[in-house]
Amino acid sequence: MSHIRSLVVTIVMALSCCANAYAQDYPTAPIKIVLPFAPGGGADNTARVISEPLAKRLGQPVVIEYRPGAGGTIGAAYVAAAPKDGYTLLFATPGQQMTNPYLMEKLTYDAFSGFSPVVELISGVNVLVVNNKLPVTNVAELIAYIKANPGKINFASSGIGSSSHLAGELFKSMANVDIVHVPYKGSGAAVSEVLGGGVQMSIDSLSVYQSHLQAGRIKPLAVATQERTPAIPELPTIGDTLAGYEAIPVNYITAPAGTPRAIIDRLNKEFNAVLQDPVVRERLVANGLTVKGGTPEQMAAVIKSESAKWKRVIEQANIGKQ
């Protein structure tokens, strides 16, 4: 038995040495970041800002590959099934792991054990806005107005299960108010309806509403982040009135499960270095984003906590699986 144990230990050590040697050479070929959406959106902009300086640090090209469709699940499934070698990464948003498992009847990948988190990149800034004609100036007044007019206030979203839909449902639940969800096909249509007064409120990306806020065409009440954002520092947070409220889209990098830890650590180190670059940070903040960074373990904790939160919201709102 002792000979068998020694043999097993020897094999394990040999495999470990091979993996470490492989990781030390990494990367020796271009790295592909799979974006599970069409070109031109916010995630694409962030990926483009990060990819060039990342390529310089890694000494290899970093290519963005678009695999859109099915709420981001087509791209996620592709990465989950990719070789575990660090050359195919997923640019993830909340849908792929945090919300779609509870919104969709069946996924073609394991949302929780199919990936190894690498790093959190940014979190978006969602803002609570209301039509200019609504007679409120802060979150407390909005809640009071809704309670005085139950069922008469509508909130717009960019679609069922979208981050703006779930942000509104979380507000509805935490404020214990009766508001009606009105989904649209994309943020553009939702913005138009809030501006025109067809619906009275929305909680959506700052970038979607920023030009209208600057022109005074819509009224901002608060941001959905835990702390005030440098992009509009004069706005309080929704959490100042509803303690614990936070509804922000998280963007992060993840790799196929089983990717060697040494490669995960190398990627984490280089992504964090890129996020600390003053030029990169300035470009991301200018887009109304909060720069994050951190360890793979911290990203895993975010996935776990956000998944649990949105699972509760989806179940309470009775949003049926598709």
Q: DSSP string covering 206-251, please?
A: HHHHHHHHHTTSSEEEEESSSS--TTSTTS-BGGGTSTT-----EE
Question: Which pLDDT belongs to residue 24?
Answer: 76
If you classify domain 126-240 with CATH, what class do you get?
A: alpha beta
Question: Which pLDDT belongs to residue 190?
Answer: 92
What CATH number is given for 29-123+249-316 in this structure?
3.40.190.150
CA terminus-to-terminus distance, the chain: 54
Q: State the Cα–Cα distance between residues 192 and 199, nearest whole angstrom.
A: 9
Q: What percent of the chain is helix, strand and coil (3-state, nearest 5)?
A: 50, 20, 35
Question: Which pLDDT belongs to residue 6?
Answer: 54
Is the preceding omega at residue 27 within 30 degrees of 0, hence cis?
A: yes
Q: The whole model's pTM is what? A: 0.85
Q: Would you call 221 exposed, middle or buried from its count of C-beta atoms within 10 A (0-12, 13-18, 19+)?
A: buried
pLDDT in tens, 230-279: 888 999 999 999 999 999 999 999 999 999 999 999 999 999 999 999 99
Q: List beta partners, residue 317.
A: none
- Would the CATH topology of 29-123+249-316 be identical to that of 126-240? yes
Per-residue pLDDT, averaged over 186-201, amounts to: 93
pLDDT in tens, 93-108: 999 999 999 999 899 9
pLDDT in tens, 20-34: 555 679 999 999 999
Question: Which pLDDT belongs to residue 8?
Answer: 44
| Domain-wise residue ranges, the chain | 29-123+249-316, 126-240
